[in-house]
Amino acid sequence: MDTQIPIVLNAMWYNHERRITMEWSPDHDFENIVKQLIDCQWSEQIRCWHVPNNPESLREIFRLFRRKAYIDTSRIFGKNKKNPRVINLKERVRVTESKEMILPPLSEAAAKKVREFVDWLEQRRYSDNTVRNYVEGISAFLRFHHQKSPDEITIKDLEEFNCRYILKKGYSGSYQNVVINAVKLFFRTLEKREMRIEEIERPRKEEHLPNILSKKEVKDILGAPVNLKHRVMLSLIYACGLRRSELLELKPEDIESQRGLMVIRQSKGNKDRVVPLSLKIIEMLREYYKAYRPKTWLFEGQVAGEQYSPTSLQEVLKKSVAKAGIRKPVTLHWLRHSYATHLLESGTDLRYIQELLGHKSSRTTEIYTHVSQKNIQQIKSPFDDL
C-alpha cells in the first residue's frame, strides 16, 4: 500500500472532551484499522472518526498505520493544548492553521528518498520509535523546503527550519534535536555528504525529576484490578522495573522460573538483559499462565497470538489509579521510576540498579538520588543548629 496516502489529524472539543479526528480520502477504507484504537468513535454530525487527544492515542495511530499511510500531524503539533479550537457539531468547521504554517505534501522524488531512508533505518535495526521520529522529522524538513531538491539544501536551510517552523509552532527542544539528528543521518547516508551539524546551536536540555509513587500508592494501584491478567501486567512492570514495550514484547519462554530470572530481549539500544524474579511474582505468573495459556506473547489481546495493545494497557492503569483514589497523572513509566527509587532507598547499589534498568550510562541512573526520600531526609538542615 502507498505509504503517502495522507491521514490528516485535527484537534477538537467533543462533548467537553479533547479529541483527535482522523480524515482520509474516500477512495481508501481504513475503518477496520481505526476500530482497533481504544475509545475510537464515529460522529455522524462531523462525519469522521475520533479518539482521545493523548500521547497514547498518537503512538497507537502511528503504529497501526505504519507502512500503510502517511500521518499528517501538521494541524495538531504546536497548538496551545490548554485552549484547543472548538468544533461546532451542528456544522462542520475545519481547524486550520495559517497558510504559511501548512506544509505541502512530499514531492514524488522526496517521498522516494524518505522510503529509502526508512529501509536503511530498518535494515540497521533502529527501534520503531526512532524510525517513526526520524521519518516524521526529515519529512517535515523536506516538506518545508519543498522548492529545493535535497542536493541544494545547506546548513542554512536547517537553521531557517528551526527558526521559522519549530520555534514558531512551539515544538519542544527534544523534537528539535530529533530533527537535527534525522537531517544529519539522512544526508550522510542517502546524499553521501555531511551537514555541518556542529555549527547549529542545539537547544539546552531540559532536566526533569522522575515522578515517584510511595509504596502504599503502588500497593493500592496493583491491588485495584479485578482481572488477573491486568493485575499481573501492572505488578510485573513494578516488580522488574520494565518499560511498557519490554512487558508487551515478553514471550512465555523468557520466564525462567527455576532460576528465578526473566530475560528481556533486544530492548532500548538493542540490548538483552536479565532481571531477577521474586517468588511472589513467580507464583502470580504461574497462576496467570494456568488461567490464560498464552501462545505467542506472554500477554495477549482478545485474539490468541495477538500482542496486547499498548493503549489498552495504559487504560488498565488509568482505571486502577482511579479505583485506588490517587489523583495524580500516573503513567506506566511512573512504576518503573518508583521501582528504581525504592531499590535505592532499600540500600541497593546504584551500579546494580543501572544494570537492572538497562541504562547505558550511570548518569541516567543517578537521577534517582535526587528523589530518594531516604537520602533527602538524612540531610540535616543548618536551621536545627541555631
Each residue's pLDDT expressed in tens, for the chain with a length of 386 residues: 445 678 888 888 766 577 888 888 776 778 888 888 877 887 766 678 888 888 778 888 888 888 788 888 877 764 344 344 443 333 333 333 333 456 777 777 888 888 889 889 988 888 777 888 888 888 889 888 888 887 788 888 888 888 888 888 777 788 888 888 899 899 888 888 777 766 666 666 666 778 889 999 999 999 999 999 999 999 999 999 999 989 999 999 999 999 999 999 877 767 889 999 999 999 999 999 999 999 899 999 888 888 898 888 988 999 999 999 999 889 899 999 999 999 888 888 888 888 888 888 888 788 887 777 666 666 666 656 65
Cα–Cα distance for residue pair 315/338, rounded to 1 Å: 19
- In DSSP notation, 143-209 reads HHTTTS-GGG--HHHHHHHIIIIIHHHT--HHHHHHHHHHHHHHHHHTS-----GGGSPPPPPP--P
Choose the catalytic residue: 68, 243, 251, 273. Answer: 243
Query: Residue 138's domain is classified under what CATH number?
Result: 1.10.150.130
Contact 276, 363 (CB under 8 A): no
The contacts found for 62-68 with CB under 8 angstroms, 24 or more apart, are: 62/132, 63/128, 63/310, 64/33, 64/34, 64/36, 64/37, 65/7, 65/30, 65/33, 66/128, 66/132, 67/1, 67/3, 68/1, 68/3, 68/5, 68/30, 68/33
Q: Look at residue 269 in the predicted model and tell me its pLDDT.
A: 67
Residue 350: domain span: 215-376
Residue 285 domain-assigned (yes or no): yes
Same domain, 113 and 75: no
Question: Does residue 359 have an active-site annotation?
Answer: yes
Residues 344 and 243 in one domain: yes
**91 lies in some domain:** yes
Q: Catalytic: 268? A: yes
Taking the C-alpha atoms of residue 185 and residue 171, their distance in angstroms, rounded to an integer, is 21
- Tell me, yes or no, whether 145 and 40 share the same domain: no
Domain boundary among 102, 121, 144: 102
Place of cell 499528517: 72
Annotation marks residue 339 as catalytic: no
Tell which of 70, 102, 134 closes a domain. 102
Reply yes or no on whether 28 is catalytic.
Answer: no
Task: Say how far apart CA 169 and CA 156 lie, in whole Å.
Answer: 19
| Set 85, 115, 268, 319: catalytic member | 268
CA dist 237 and 339 (Å) reads 9
Residues 221, 200: one domain? no
* Catalytic-residue membership of 243: yes
Q: Which of 45, 75, 102 marks a domain boundary?
A: 102
Residue 385 lies in a domain: no
224 and 371: one domain? Answer: yes
Do 26 and 98 fall into the same domain? Answer: yes
For the chain, the domain total comes to: 3
Quick one: 227 and 255 in the same domain? yes
Q: Are residues 281 and 168 in the same domain?
A: no
